Structure 1
Amino acid sequence: MTFTLHATDSESQARAGTLQLDHGPVETPIFMPVGTVGTVKGVHQRELTDEINPDIILGNTYHLYLRPQMDILKKAGGLHKFMNWDRNILTDSGGYQVYSLSANRKIKEEGVKFKSHIDGSFHFFTPENVMEIQRTIGADIIMAFDECTPYPCDYQYAKRSMHMTHRWLDRCISHLEKTPLPYEHNQTLFPIVQGSTYKDLRKQSAEYIASREAEGNAIGGLSVGEPAEEMYEMTEVVTNILPNDKPRYLMGVGTPINLLENVALGVDMFDCVMPTRNGRNGMLFTAHGTINIKNKKWEDDFSPIDEMGITWVDTAYSKAYVRHLFTVNEMLGRQIATIHNLGFYLWLMREARKHIIAGDFTSWKNKMVTQMDKRL
């Protein structure tokens, strides 16, 4: 993997760059649609490539490990072939899912024992077998195994967890050095900065992660319930330390406003279920604010979903029609909303990139944040 910086904003830390991976270039800043179980929920791969057009999507290690399981993916030749996707894939570490299973898991130095949410069976994740799992999945970018701490989090717990995440990283790196690539493309490991919302811990963690000189770095443990201002504060601490010549990935973030504010802090990569999950529940994001399409006010509004026409659904269907689909519980309504939201997120990042290169990112960002912070 290579990362090239093309431009930086003079009034913020925003950057425009290009990641070169074996399945093609990724222009940053980038939002990665979440394809949890080998699909971006409710969206055909054809719609992804033709309309939303992401350079990279995300797969979920925990979910893919449980279903379809590794033997199936190995026989298929990896996730790219299994889901007929010829662009890049990033897999998360499973750490967030372990965090979310707080009532059904036990964390110790060796790894994490957890109970499957599907059938109650017990499993054990270690840094070593999580590397094996991600090798088998075949993602272009794979994440180090970490513990995602909850919010709020006791300082001593956050400190112990952070140091364990660092030790787990060392084990991940050591294991990968002994593990051959299973397919005909390279895989790049990103370590994850932890430390909850404590500045000194975030600083320590960022310094340790930077010292490992990985090809890219991630920031985890945010967007887990803390106020947005704390998220931004922690992100800034970390981006001031992580090397400028490596991509920075903020995991699990967030709203369109969150994305722009974190781009301004020097983040290059994002993922979040919000555009798909909120879309399935009738929440549409636009450049002028958020629409709850299920509200009665849209019942006889025959204007397009979005006048900008970012994707084909935006001008093909009226607000009244999409509201009708939700009212009668028709699956097409959820699909239209999902395509629109993903298209908007990708458009937002591409516009951010254009304005970074043009040199007017900060003024554009401030205008967009004000516009988008409305309920229509």
Structure 2
Amino acid sequence: MPPAEQRDNIIININEAAAQTQFQNMKFAVKTWCKSGRARVGLLQLKCTSLVQGATSPEIEIETPALLLTTRKGLPAFIPPDHLSFLPSPDSRLLQFSPMHFMEGPNSKTISDIGGVHQLLGLQGYGFVAVPRDSILSLPECSSSNKNGASFETPSGRFLVKPLEYMKMISSMKPDLWVSLADEVSASVTVKRNKASVDRTITWLDHCISLKPRDGALFGSVVGGCSVEERQRCAHEVAKRNVSGYYIGGFGLGDSIDERSTFLHAVTDVLPKEKPRQVCGLGLPEEVLQGVAAGIDLFDSTYIYHLTLEGFALIFPLNDKCKQYESDTQLCSMASDYTKINLKATVYRKDASRIVEGCECYTCQNHTKAYINHLLNVHEMLAQILLEIHNTHHYFSFFRLIREAITEGKFEEFRQKFIERRREHLLAPSLGACELQTSVR
């Protein structure tokens, strides 16, 4: 039998072996398509996989496009478990984590004996999404990867993770969704190295499928760097496999935002429309809108984490809110683009107003800018907790507006208006500075 036919038979056998369990715990349906474009609103339904014996399996329903909350070892960096209830529900019930985060903690057997990440963290009502890479603690190191496994930089050092080792982690942690191991490369690699990354990713996907645990929905990884042809080749191959959804990787690793739409559209052209698509590396509001326009459903981003870490609070307009900031002359020196404010600044030391008037988050309902400014400047951890709650709530509201715009057939109008308004705000401070310099002269 020719090698190509042997490979096809192997793929068919692997798919058949996994088919009976692949979609038991996850369902996805597209509810609304954008009238002109690929943006869509969908419904993701999850039945949590890791439960105490005899307990009723909770179900989670989340409308897409949706944001996955980035976590460190299963929890948002600044929000303890008893504060998760302050976040919008059910939007906040999908938590993304990297199995690599646990390489310095409990070993796989210990986590398995406990019952997986749900039992370890005591969060049975939440859905967990396992992704090898993240943008905080687990970064792909393509120069150290080889045909045997993918290399990652972590706080515990550099690790080469082989498919078998990765599947042992997945089996012990029992996530609801998990992404296959991928060889993600930066935009600067050679054509030969990029092609090798696609070949390895497809091979590792076959290994992951053959070793697939009983529970949890598998998302097949699609890579290809800055090559339309390689991305489409990878997407074609992954689409042949029996997977529940798709993870589009390789972004945020030196690629240009101007070229990204071409790569995203090239992949979504190939992938089946009835399955969900997740992307990593698109975090800024403009990037999210770019992904939604290409037909992406789930976004894995560290945008909120980095804002909170630096003491910034989101304030960009939602349904004509935040208009007070558009005419605030003090804001020009405090925020670079009118989407966020730096609450460490002395101008907020005596500011008794809320971060955003009308915001319904716990922080805005109970605390002032002056109080958060004080907490930040005395290095009190509560500052990050309150900021993370507000920023997460605000960004979830942004995603809700995106879904509403798609449903109403106004997504492109919403997207263009948002981008134009932000561009105007970016120009405003620089123009003001120019006018000031002219007057001084």
- Taking structure 1 as the reference length, what is the TM-score of the superposition? 0.90
Give the deviation of 1:294 after TM superposition: 1.9
Counterpart position of 2:233 = 204
2:206 counterpart of 1:170: yes
Counterpart position of 1:42 = 78
How has the CA–CA distance of structure 1 residues 11 and 113 changed in structure 2, closer, same or farther, with 3 Å as cutoff?
closer
Give the deviation of 1:164 after TM superposition: 1.1
2:196 counterpart of 1:160: yes
Give the deviation of 1:95 after TM superposition: 8.4
Structure 2 counterparts to residues 118-197 of structure 1, below 5 A: 118=156, 124-176=160-212, 179=213, 181=214, 186-197=215-226
Counterpart position of 2:347 = 297
SS of the residue corresponding to residue 152 of structure 1 reads: coil
In structure 1, which of residues 279, 294, 297 is the aligned counterpart of residue 308 of structure 2?
Answer: 279
Structure 2 counterparts to residues 337-352 of structure 1, below 5 A: 337-352=387-402
Counterpart position of 1:219 = 248
Matches of 1:38 and 1:5, distance apart in 2: 28
Matched residue type, 1:141? L
2:112 counterpart of 1:74: yes
User: Contact (CA 8 Å) 2:138, 2:154: kept in 1 or not?
Assistant: no
Q: Percent identity?
A: 25
Q: Which runs of 4+ in 1 moved over 6 A?
A: 95-98, 113-116
Matches of 1:74 and 1:163, distance apart in 2: 31
Give the deviation of 1:101 after TM superposition: 4.6
Matched residue type, 2:38? Q
User: Contact (CA 8 Å) 1:290, 1:372: kept in 2 or not?
Assistant: no
Bigger Rg, which one: 2
SS of the residue corresponding to residue 108 of structure 1 reads: coil
2:382 counterpart of 1:332: yes
String of CA shifts for 1:128-179, please: whole Å, max 9, x gaps. Answer: 2212211211100011011110232222211111111111111111121xx4
How has the CA–CA distance of structure 1 residues 135 and 266 changed in structure 2, closer, same or farther, with 3 Å as cutoff?
same
Matches of 2:82 and 2:175, distance apart in 1: 20
Counterpart position of 1:240 = 269
User: Contact (CA 8 Å) 2:344, 2:376: kept in 1 or not?
Assistant: yes
Matches of 2:404 and 2:152, distance apart in 1: 44
How has the CA–CA distance of structure 1 residues 55 and 354 changed in structure 2, closer, same or farther, with 3 Å as cutoff?
farther
User: Contact (CA 8 Å) 1:65, 1:133: kept in 2 or not?
Assistant: no
**Structure 1: runs of 5 or more not aligned:** none
User: Contact (CA 8 Å) 2:150, 2:183: kept in 1 or not?
Assistant: no
SS of the residue corresponding to residue 30 of structure 2 reads: strand
Matches of 2:120 and 2:78, distance apart in 1: 17
Counterpart position of 2:326 = none
2:138 counterpart of 1:88: no
Structure 2 counterparts to residues 255-270 of structure 1, below 5 A: 255-270=284-299
User: Contact (CA 8 Å) 1:60, 1:92: kept in 2 or not?
Assistant: yes
Give the deviation of 1:368 after TM superposition: 2.6
Matches of 1:72 and 1:345, distance apart in 2: 35
Counterpart position of 2:410 = 360
SS of the residue corresponding to residue 37 of structure 1 reads: coil
Matches of 1:110 and 1:81, distance apart in 2: 32
User: Contact (CA 8 Å) 2:353, 2:368: kept in 1 or not?
Assistant: yes
Aligned length: 365
Larger relative contact order (CA 8 Å, sep ≥ 6): 1
Q: CA RMSD in A?
A: 2.3
In structure 2, which of residues 45, 56, 75 is the aligned counterpart of residue 20 of structure 1?
Answer: 45
SS of the residue corresponding to residue 192 of structure 2 reads: helix
